[in-house]
Amino acid sequence: MTKDLEHNFVELLEKHQNIVHKVCRLYTNNYDAHNDLFQEITIQLWKAYPKFRGDAKFSTWMYRVGLNTAITLYRKSKRTINTQAFDSVQFKISAEDYDDTEEQQLKLLYKAVHQLNDIEKALVFLYLEDKNYREISETLGISEVNARVKMNRVKTKLKTILNP
């Protein structure tokens, strides 16, 4: 029984692992910290899995557990202080996509997002993942109106970080 559960879980997570990687990418800034957070989110997902009911989509459920772990449960290890730019290590820009100004802008944008606080990052993350305000508000536990208001503030904040 447990073996079945383990097998199902690992298979599902293997398939949807990108969600966890994306949370890690936003909340950490180096390779070790990324792996550390990935590990903790996996454990939290696994611990919560027996209570996972099929009525929610596994991926939707993962967003919640992943973000909760990153915002609330995870204790940043000392390694996180090492601020080697994660993007330059992990994500090589492919030649055909290369556009100098846009690429420069994107670099600055990713940097700006990293400067946001944990809650703002969560909002941005869900927005980037194309979640609607209802889902955002439910994941964070705030009202939909307030999620919208905050999102607008984050947009302004990003603008100011980019154009001081």
Whole-angstrom distance, CA of residue 133 vs CA of residue 59: 17
Three-state secondary structure along 93-144?
Answer: CCHHHCCHHHHHHHHHHHHHHHHCCHHHHHHHHHHHCCCCHHHHHHHHCCCH
Q: Which is nearer to other proteins, 33 or 122 (CB)?
A: 122
Whole-angstrom distance, CA of residue 127 vs CA of residue 95: 27
Structure tokens at 36: 């550390």
To other proteins, the closest distance from the beta carbon of 125 in angstroms equals: 9
Which residue from 119, 131, 133, 144 is in contact with other proteins, where contact means CB under 8 A?
119
99 binds other proteins (CB under 8 A): no
Binding residue count for other proteins, defined by CB under 8 A: 67
Which residue from 83, 118, 132, 134 is in contact with other proteins, where contact means CB under 8 A?
118
Sign of CA dihedral 43, 44, 49, 55: negative
Which residue from 1, 95, 130, 164 is in contact with other proteins, where contact means CB under 8 A?
130
DSSP H or E stretch at residue 74: none
To other proteins, the closest distance from the beta carbon of 127 in angstroms equals: 7
55 binds other proteins (CB under 8 A): no
Whole-angstrom distance, CA of residue 21 vs CA of residue 85: 16
Site residues (vs other proteins, CB under 8 A): 6, 9-11, 13-14, 17-18, 21-22, 25, 38-40, 42-44, 46-48, 51-52, 61, 64-65, 67-69, 71-76, 90-92, 97, 102, 105-106, 109-110, 113, 117-119, 122, 124, 127-130, 138-143, 146-147, 149-150, 155, 158-159, 162
